């Protein structure tokens, strides 16, 4: 009996898909594509980057570094997917907040202005790889200190770039507009990922 990957992406039926992420949002989005996949996580990956690079390049380079770190763990029938999401505002990269004060600082930076959410994705087999990045523009309303504190206290967004999850309360009350992929802001640009996988015959076969 064919698994879902043979039905959804028959061009990649010989591969086992591995999502190299511990993010519950990325797992949820991958399941939404109807794909069968495994997860694999290793610690201690170097996520450093040249701070002079544009945001699109930073996210893509980090996803490529992650993929390189997993290469030694791969078998010949595996296709691995790595990703990294950053929030980019006023020329500064906002990653995951270190603590509550850092989360408050980030949300105050985002309040009342627009920022870019950029996700870099790398798709790799043992012999070939491709990578890309997707950018979404998000505009926040002006948020009060009470709203920021309420969100942090009730949702503890310490595992999220920019200290927020658009699918949570702050997205309901704070996001005025969005230009681009909503799912990209959640952490994985699934439409672009699916499109690349669907047309990957020349890359992976």
Return the active site residues. Answer: 84
Q: Which two tokens stand for residue 18?
A: 């591995």
**Cα dist. 96→75, 87, 128, 159, 164 in Å?**
31, 9, 30, 6, 9
HSE on the CB side for 52, CA within 13 Å? 0
Handedness of CA 187, 190, 192, 193 (dihedral sign): positive
Return phi, psi of residue 87, to 5°: -105, 130
The rounded distance, in Å, linking the Cα atoms of 47 and 34 is 30
Handedness of CA 87, 90, 91, 96 (dihedral sign): negative
């Amino acid at each position: 009996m064919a698994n879902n990957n043979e039905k959804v992406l028959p061009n990649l039926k010989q591969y086992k898909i591995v999502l190299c992420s511990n993010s519950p949002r990325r797992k949820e989005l991958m399941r939404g594509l109807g794909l069968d996949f495994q997860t694999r996580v290793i610690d201690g990956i170097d996520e450093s980057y040249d701070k002079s690079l544009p945001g699109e390049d930073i996210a893509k380079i980090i996803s490529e570094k992650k993929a390189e770190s997993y290469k030694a763990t791969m078998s010949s029938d595996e296709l691995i997917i790595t990703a990294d999401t950053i929030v980019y505002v006023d020329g500064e990269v906002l990653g995951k907040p270190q603590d509550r004060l850092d989360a408050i600082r980030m949300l105050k930076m985002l309040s009342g202005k627009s920022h870019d959410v950029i996700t870099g994705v790398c798709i790799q087999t043992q012999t070939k790889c491709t990578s890309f990045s997707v950018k979404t523009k998000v505009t926040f309303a002006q948020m009060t200190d009470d709203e920021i504190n309420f969100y942090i206290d009730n949702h503890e967004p310490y595992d999220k770039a920019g200290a927020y999850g658009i699918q949570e309360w702050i997205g309901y009350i704070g996001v005025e507009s969005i230009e681009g992929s909503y799912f990209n802001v959640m952490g994985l640009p699934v439409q672009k990922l699916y499109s690349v996988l669907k047309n990957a015959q020349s890359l992976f076969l």
